[in-house]
Structure 1
Amino acid sequence: MMKEYIIAIIGLSTLLLAAVAAYGVTTVSTEMQDNKPAPVTMPDYSDELSALSMQVAQIKSDVASLNTIKTDIYKIQEKLVDLEKQNTQQVQQPQTIQQSRLLIDLDKYEYLPGETVKIIVTGAEPQKMAQVQFLDDGFILLNNEAWSDSTGTIMYGLKLSSALPAGTYEIRLVADAVTESQQIRIRAPSSTDTSNTASTSFTVQTGKSIYRNGEIIDVSGIGKPNTSVVATLTSPAGKVYTANTSTQSDGTYVLFYSPSQPYDHGKWYVTASNEAKTVIVYLIIQ
C-alpha cells in the first residue's frame, strides 16, 4: 500500500515538473517573440539625387560657357593689341611725312648787316605757330613767332642787326617739334655797299606778324630821305586799303591802317613803293 502511494506521489511530481517546464518554454518563446526587432525601413533619396544630378549638369554647362568666354577674351585681347599697333603706326607716319616735306627757301644766302632775310617755309602744319630762330654757333640770337597759312606756308622777314660781324649764321625753323635749318653768310660792308645802301635801300616791315580783329596795323621801314612812300594793304578777299606818307630826314617812315571791321581772317599783304622800289610783306589776321 505504501509502495503504491509513493509511486503515485512520484508520478504527480513528474507531471508538475513537466507542466512547469512547458510553461517556462512557452513564456520564453513568448518573450523572444515580443523582443524581436522591428524591420528596418530605408529612406528614399531619389528626389535629392535627381536634384544633385541637375546641379552637376548645370555646373558642367557653366564651365563650358566659361571656357567659351575665356576664348573670346583671348580673341579680344589679340584684337586690342593689333589696334594699338595700327594706332601707333598711324601716329608715327604723319610725323615722318612732315619731317621729310618741311622746306626753307631764302631769297639769297649772303647778306649785309642790317638787311632783311626773306624766308619762305613750305610743308608746315596749316594755321599753326612756329618759331623762327637766328643762331650764331648754336647760340640763339633771335627767337620770333610766325604763323603758317591754310596751305602750310610761312612767309617771314627777319631783320638783321646792323652790328652783326661777318661770319656764318644759321636760320632755324621749329614747327610742331620738327626742326629745319639753313645757313647764311654775313659779309662786312665795303665802301661801295655803304654808299649804295644810303642811296637805294628801302625796307618794309609790320609791327608784328599776327594781328587780332580790330587792332591797328602799323607798317614802318627805311627809304630814301625826304621822299614819298605809297603802300597798299590787301585782304584775303581782295579789299585794298591805301596809305601815303613821306620819309624823314634819316629815311625812316611809319604808316597805320585801320580796315573796316570785322577784318577778314587769313593772310594779308602790304605792297610798299619808294623811288621805283617795291617791297611786299605778309601778315596774318586771326
Structure 2
Amino acid sequence: MKKYATAGIVILALVIGSATVYGLFNLNSIIMGKSDQSTPNYTSALNSLKPQISSLSNNVSSLNSIKADVSDIKGKLSDLETKINQAQQSASQSSRPIIILDRSVYLQGNTILIIAVGFEPQKVAQIQLRDNNGYVVTQAQTSSDSAGRLTYNLALSSSIIPGNYQVKIISGQLAAWQQITIMERSYSGSVILSGPYLFNAQTDQDVYLSSDVIEVFGTGKPYTSVYGVLTSPSGMKFTSNTTIQPGGTFAMFFSGSQPFESGSWYVTVNNQGVTRTLYLSVQSGNSSNVNPFTAQSDFGIYQTGDQIRMSGIAQPYTTVSASLTSPSGHMYMVTTTASFDGSYQLFFSTSQLYETGYWNVNLTNQGQSRGFSIYITSTSSPHSFTAQTDKTIYKKGDQIQISGTGKSYTAVKATLRSPSGTTYNTAVTAHLDGSYVISFPTSSSFETGNWYIEITNSAISKVVSIFLEP
C-alpha cells in the first residue's frame, strides 16, 4: 500500500512538472511570435505551486521514514523470535525444563515473575515456594500452553520470613527449580533474625541419573562442621564435609569416578551430634521417568496434644502410607490417596500422654520412601504468649527491644506503627524454651509521640504502647 502511494505521488509530481514546462514552452512561442504585444506575468501563478510541490516532497520523506521504522521493527521481531526458538530448543534438548525468574532477590510483598519452557503441552503444573527446610510455604496451580510454556505471577506475603527459598514447578514427571533470596522490607539497614539455628538438610532432587552430581544443602549453626555419608544399595559409601557459612547455610556434593549404581540410596548428614537421614533414587538412562515423591512436616518440634501434618507430592491417585514411631517403639499408621495433581496431606493427632523426645516418621509411595525425625515436647501448662518492651519511653536513636515467650520454634512477628500510621515489620523464631527477643532501631527522623507495637504468635496478638521523645 505504501509503495502504491509513493508511486502515485511521484507520477503526480511528474504531471505537474510536465504541465509547467509545456506552459512555459507555449508562453515562449507566443512571445517569439508576437513580440509587439505586452508579455503576461506568470510569476505569482508559479509561486503558488511551490507549497504544493514542497508538501509532496515532505510526504515522500515521511513515507520513507515510516518504511525505515517498519524495517527496524521487523528486524527486532526476527531477533526475538530467534531467541525464543533457541530457548525452546535448549529446553527440548535438556533433561529438565528451564525456569527463568525476573530476578534472584526479592523483598517481602514483591511478586515473582515466573517464565518456564520445556514442559509437556497443556498439562497442569504445581508452582511451589519452599523454605530452606524444604517445607512448602506457598503453592499455586496453573497449566502450560500448547507449546509447553507457562507464565505465572507469584505474590509474596508482606509478612514472609526473610531467608533463602526455592521456587519449584512440578508438572507430571518433569520439574524445574530456582533458588531465590527474600529480604526484609525495612526503612534502613537490615534486621537480623534471632532465634536458634535448627539443623536441617535436603537433597536438590529426589531422583538422579547415574552420572549426576548429588547435592545436599540446608541450614545450621554458622562456622560449625557438617559431615555427610552417601550409601549405595550395595553398601558402598561416599563421604563429603563442609563448614556452615556465616549466614547459616551450607551445601555439599557427592560424585563418583564411575556412574552410580541404580536403586535406592540414602545420605546421613551430621552436625553437632544431630543427624538427618535423606533418601533418594538413582536411575540409569538419559531421563528420569519416576514421578517425584516428596514429604515434609509442617513443623520440626511439636507439643503433646498438637496435630502433626505431613504433606508433599506423590504419583497421582496412588496410596501414600505414613508411620509415626515413638522413642520406645510404639507405631501409629495412617494412609491417604494422592490427588489428581499428586499433592497429598496426612495427619497424626497426639495426646498429652504421648512420649517426649525424637519420633521417627516414614512415608512410602510406589516403592519410594522418605524419612525424617520430629521432636515432641511436653505441655505441663497451656501455651501462653507474653510480650513486653525493655522501656516505655525512648529517645530518638535508641533501640526498642521486645521480649517474651511464645510457642517453641514458631514465628513471632512484630509491627511497629508510628503516630501517623507508618509501619515497620520484622520477625524472629522462638527458642526451644519459647523465649524470644525482637529489636527495632530508631533514628532522628522518627516522629515524636505515641507508637504502638503489635506482636503476634500462633494466632495470638499483643499490643504494646511506647512513647518516643526528641
Instruction: Normalising by structure 2, report the TM-score.
Output: 0.21
Larger Rg belongs to: 1
**Higher strand proportion:** 2
Greater helix share, 1 or 2?
1
Higher relative contact order (CA 8 A, sep 6+): 1
What TM-score results when the alignment is normalised by the length of structure 1? 0.34
